Amino acid sequence: MKILVTNDDGIYSPGLSCLARVASNYGEVIVMAPDVEQSSMGQAITSGKPITYKNSPIHFEGIEAYRVSGTPADCVALGTHLMEDIDLVVSGINIGSNIGNSAWHSGTLSAARQAVLFGIRGIAFSVSVGDEEPDFNALEPFVKMAFDEVIDKEDRELLNINFPRYPDGEILWTSQSVRHYDGKVIANKDPMGRQHYWFTVVPIEPEDEGSDRWAVKQGKTSITPMILDLTDKEYLQSREKAG
């Protein structure tokens, strides 16, 4: 198996190194990650200028690795173009969870989704954060457990995996929490007195049992199977019945 590893936190992220190490147990690994942080870039692609890549400044213990002047989706596009026969794209491990409605703007998940658009399996990995950054050495065995859970499920093209800050070892297959959240714009001023704004998201409804948000809050590893089709099929079926 040939595995392309990418992320949205950038080539220097310890989560990327952890994911590449674990993935190397399952096949030949190539790393292509953004040269700077690209968090919350969603499915953005670079279309107004060329994309370039260089050797990684970070050593990945014998793994071929490159930094890309583009978004997570660009990394997948370039990697699958340059490298023949990519069987799997894994993205992460993101420093910060990608659960519920964050799936819409997550660069981590979008990289996995971009792989599926090219006909390749895509799996996104993220971990919740607290006051300190995650301990990826401690997390690594749980990442391997998640790989073992999904690696042979080839009919599941797109998976979103989230780890709590301190996993208890149990893995749950979950739904995406789509309850409402409060998108806030907070005004402030920089040291020069110039106005600027921060966009932040705060959940305003409790998590529903069996969802990704609920599982991670319970200390479980969440695996959410996803699809690309956004069609409201219930509405189409109701129209057919009415007509």
Residue 193 has pLDDT above 80, yes or no: yes
Q: How many residues does the chain have?
A: 243
The type of residue at 103 is: A
Q: Which amino acid is at 145?
A: M
Q: pLDDT class for 181, splitting at 50, 70, 90?
A: low
**Mean pLDDT value of segment 82-98:** 95
Average pLDDT over residues 230-241: 92
pLDDT tens string 169-178: 999 999 998 8
Q: pLDDT tens digits, residue range 123-158?
A: 999 999 988 889 999 999 999 999 999 999 999 999
Phi then psi for residue 29, to 5 deg, are: -110, 135
Which residues does residue 32 pair with via DSSP β-bridges, in sequence order?
66
pLDDT, average across residues 191-208: 81
Q: Is the pLDDT of residue 236 over 70?
A: yes
Give the up-direction half-sphere exposure of residue 236: CA atoms within 13 A in the CB hemisphere: 4
Residue 38 clears pLDDT 70, i.e. is over it: yes
d(CA 110, CA 92): 11
pLDDT at 94: 96
Helix, coil or strand: residue 182: strand
Per-residue pLDDT band for 182 (boundaries 50, 70, 90) equals: low
Percentage of residues in the chain having pLDDT higher than 90: 79
Q: Considering just the CA atoms, what is the radius of gyration of the chain in Å?
A: 18
Q: How confident is the model at residue 204 (pLDDT cuts 50, 70, 90)?
A: low
CB 99 within 8 A of CB 175: no
Cα gap 89→117, rounded to integer Å: 12
Structural tokens at position 44 = 């953005």
